[in-house]
Amino acid sequence: MSPIPVSEAPAPEAVYGAPPLELVQVAETALQVSPLVPGAGRLEDLAPGSLERVDVLAPAGTLERRYVLALALQALRPGGRLTALAPKDRGGSRLGKELAGFGCAVHEEARRHHRICALTRPETVSGLEEAIHEGGPRHIDNLALCSQAGIFSYDRLDPGTALLLANLPLLAGTGADFGCGLGILARSVLASPKVTGLTLIDIDRRAVEMATRNVGDPRATLHWADIRSGGLGLSRLDFVVMNPPFHDGGAEDQALGQAFIARAAEALRPGGSLWLTANTHLPYEAPLNAAFKAVALKASAGGYKIYEARR
């Protein structure tokens, strides 16, 4: 048999996120390109027309979703296959219309509370540049920071962080910001000249990229990592600050905050402090008291609470 010419060889496949396996059969060799999977490739870096197939678990936010769909279509070769799906109440009901708006003929079906859209990329698509521009990094005037749709509280100061900023004392020594987001807490922490080093960690690559732009302090080190996994290489820290997430894939998951608390306790020196903001209804008191010698409620307002916990 003659070898397949390079020009006829199948292009690579990619997957964005973790589509339910009972709904989409993703190739084991597919390149993961979600910004929420540390170490994954960047969808933005894929050459136009370089992919044979892309499977996308589409994000819930409109700007973020259209951005991802446009990049996926841009990376597909004409004739390549795109399967995009999402829960019906988290953007799935809009998927077909949005893909048709890019000039695609879409086969749509409903299964297991999801809308699943499959298509073959046509030779000509439209509107990609606009969607990529609208969902890409930008300066948010009211924050005076660089941000991007899809990052937590990307276009506003969330009230939990605002309450923590109002109650956070001047810190000193070396510390960490768990779930750093855009770097808002980090900027406040680094305003103290007594802080000698700060490690910023987030599971969202986009957040790490924006925080790199926004913080711009030689005392700061940034890492794209899943705090829950441990192995962060942090020990004997003087302080940790955090506004831990409590949603995973749209569903409330209190184990996220509990894992953040456990990792903070592991990273702090004896006597080191954790400053945490959380929604009032979240029951973090038990894990805090289990991992720390002293726990104090420092503030409670507007549905949020601030704790200082001493190791």
Name the burial class of residue 143, with classes exposed (0-12), middle (13-18) and buried (19+) by CB atoms within 10 angstroms of its CB: middle
* Distances in whole angstroms, Cα of residue 303 to Cα of each of 248, 262, 296: 20, 24, 17
- CATH 3.40.50.150 domain range(s) in the chain: 6-135, 138-310
> Which of 179, 206, 188 has the alpha carbon at shortest distance from 59?
206
Task: Note the pTM of the prediction, 2 decimals.
Answer: 0.93
Give the pLDDT score at 51.
Answer: 97
CATH class entry, domain 6-135: alpha beta
Q: Confirm if 232 and 217 have CB atoms less than 8 A apart.
A: no
Tens of pLDDT along 112-145? 999 999 999 999 999 999 999 999 999 999 999 9
* Distances in whole angstroms, Cα of residue 203 to Cα of each of 40, 178, 300: 11, 10, 27
Homologous superfamily (CATH) for 138-310 = Vaccinia Virus protein VP39 (3.40.50.150)
Q: What is the mean pLDDT of residues 36-61?
A: 97
* Distances in whole angstroms, Cα of residue 8 to Cα of each of 46, 52, 120, 186: 19, 11, 18, 50
Q: Confirm if 177 and 188 have CB atoms less than 8 A apart.
A: no
* Distances in whole angstroms, Cα of residue 91 to Cα of each of 13, 72, 208: 24, 17, 25
Tens of pLDDT along 31-44? 999 999 999 999 99
Confidence label for 10 from pLDDT (cuts 50, 70 and 90)? very low
Q: Confirm if 90 and 60 have CB atoms less than 8 A apart.
A: yes
Confidence label for 255 from pLDDT (cuts 50, 70 and 90)? confident
In the chain, the amino acid numbered 50 is S
Tens of pLDDT along 77-99? 999 999 999 999 999 999 999 99
Q: Give the whole-angstrom CA distance, residue 261 versus residue 290.
A: 10
Pairing of strands 76-87, 51-57: parallel
Q: Give the whole-angstrom CA distance, residue 159 versus residue 274.
A: 19
Give the pLDDT score at 5.
Answer: 35
Q: Confirm if 162 and 303 have CB atoms less than 8 A apart.
A: no
For residue 9, is pLDDT > 60? no
